[in-house]
């Protein structure tokens, strides 16, 4: 591995802050939870401004529908300890049963009004919070690795813009990008199976590899790791984002979910890799359709995302002779999902 990359790997540590914070118009705040489920709306977090007192808080949709947050100035010793010792009662919780369409609520603003008759609006707070999420932070670290390393060849596995999303433009221009997918389509340079990388590319073809929401669709991810080793440079690095928990999708090709510990079974010395860091992020909850004693999870956390950053440390002698078309008789579904960003 190049010395600059080695330093980045050895020095990078995610900062575990005592409390997450954002700032706007002189105020500190954070939205801890924004939940929409079966007509229920919940938002919670904290707002603190040393110069003025919060007097009203409401969730306002583009249609000017206001949901007033009734519970403000709740105890907040954690905020006081981390931000300002005077911020002892700055938490808030709002809960409603509402018939407002989800599409409107997703674009709602949180309007904070203070005792000096000033106000500010917190917009796109759900998406903005992702910057504080461990998995999204790790993704940003991967982009930094690309930007601070020498040029090379990068492979994206599962590059087809089936949701209207292409990450080709996110790769620094000094890198040579190749997009691989099981199906032809927008942003695909090579059509092929990720279980057969060594049949598609020469040994050591790539210094970096990435994939997003792909590994759950690979029937044999351990075979993929062995094949990946064969087409990567020694010292090359890879970033993979998939799910620890997610609804079943793209059936019948939806096979796996990954915790942060599961990566050890795929990327290890036997397959030729070391794990730099594994994370789970985008906190969520499982709600049973029919709740009983066993399924009363009481908001036990799940994580929508699971990510891993790896480095190739040696060649592998492992092999996995099973072929995908010997096991599956169907093909990956050709449907397209449009995501409005």
What is the Cβ-side half-sphere exposure of residue 3, based on CA atoms within 13 angstroms? 0
Strand order across the 273-285 sheet: 190-191, 176-181, 153-157, 206-212, 232-242, 301-312, 273-285
Mean pLDDT of the 28-55 span: 94
Domains of the chain listed by start with CATH number: 22-129 (2.60.40), 133-327 (3.40.50.150)
* Token pair 């500010």: residue: 120
* Token pair 């040393």: residue: 50
Give me the DSSP letters along 277-295: EEEEEEEEE---SS--TTT
Distance set, CA 334 to CA 44, 182, 192 (Å): 39, 10, 15
20 vs 68, which has greater pLDDT? 68
Give me the DSSP letters along 184-208: --TT-SEE--GGGHHHHS-TT-EEE
pLDDT given at position 316: 97
164 vs 37, which has greater pLDDT? 37
Kindly report the pTM of this predicted structure. 0.89
Question: Please, is 202 exposed, middle or buried when counting C-beta atoms within 10 Å of its C-beta (0-12, 13-18, 19+)?
Answer: exposed
Lowest average pLDDT, out of 7-21, 209-223, 316-330, goes to 7-21
* Token pair 């932070």: residue: 137
Mean pLDDT of the 290-299 span: 88
Which residues 6+ apart lie within 8 Å of 242 measured at CB? Answer: 211, 213, 214, 215, 216, 256, 257, 258, 305, 306, 307
Question: 139-148, pLDDT tens digit by residue?
Answer: 999 999 999 9
Torsion, CA 124, CA 126, CA 130, CA 134, rounded to 10: 160
Question: 107-163, pLDDT tens digit by residue?
Answer: 899 999 999 999 999 988 877 778 889 999 999 999 999 999 888 999 999 999 887
Question: 284-294, pLDDT tens digit by residue?
Answer: 989 899 999 99
How many separate helices (H) and strands (E) can be counted in the chain? 8, 16
């Amino acid at each position: 591995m190049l010395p600059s990359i080695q330093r980045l790997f050895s020095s990078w540590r995610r900062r575990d802050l005592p409390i997450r914070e954002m700032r706007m118009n002189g105020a500190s705040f954070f939205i801890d939870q924004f939940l929409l489920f079966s007509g229920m709306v919940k938002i919670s977090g904290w707002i603190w401004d040393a110069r003025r007192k919060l007097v009203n808080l409401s969730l306002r949709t583009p249609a000017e529908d206001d949901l007033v947050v009734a519970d403000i100035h709740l105890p907040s010793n954690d905020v006081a300890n981390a931000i300002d010792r005077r911020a002892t009662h700055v938490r808030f919780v709002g809960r409603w049963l509402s018939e407002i369409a989800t599409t409107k609520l997703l674009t709602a603003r949180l309007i904070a009004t203070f005792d000096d008759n000033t106000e500010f609006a917190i917009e796109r707070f759900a998406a903005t919070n992702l910057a504080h999420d461990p998995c999204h932070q790790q993704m940003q670290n991967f982009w930094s690795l690309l930007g601070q390393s020498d040029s090379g060849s990068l492979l994206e596995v599962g590059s087809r813009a089936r949701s209207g999303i292409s990450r080709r433009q996110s790769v620094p221009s000094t890198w040579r990008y190749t997009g691989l997918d099981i199906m032809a389509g927008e942003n695909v340079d090579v059509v092929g199976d990720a279980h057969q990388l060594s049949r598609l590319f020469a040994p050591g073809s790539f210094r970096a590899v990435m994939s997003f929401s792909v590994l759950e669709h690979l029937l044999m991810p351990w075979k993929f790791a062995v094949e990946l080793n064969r087409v990567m440079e020694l010292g090359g690095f890879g970033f993979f984002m998939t799910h620890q928990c997610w609804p079943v999708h793209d059936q019948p090709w939806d096979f796996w979910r990954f915790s942060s510990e599961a990566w050890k079974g795929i990327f290890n010395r036997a397959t030729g890799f070391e794990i730099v860091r594994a994370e789970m992020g985008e906190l969520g909850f499982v709600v049973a359709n029919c709740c009983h004693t066993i399924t009363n999870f009481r908001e036990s956390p799940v994580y929508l995302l699971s990510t891993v950053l790896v480095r190739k440390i040696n060649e592998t002698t492992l092999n996995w002779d099973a072929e995908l078309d010997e096991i599956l008789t169907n093909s990956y579904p050709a449907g397209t999902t449009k995501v409005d960003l």
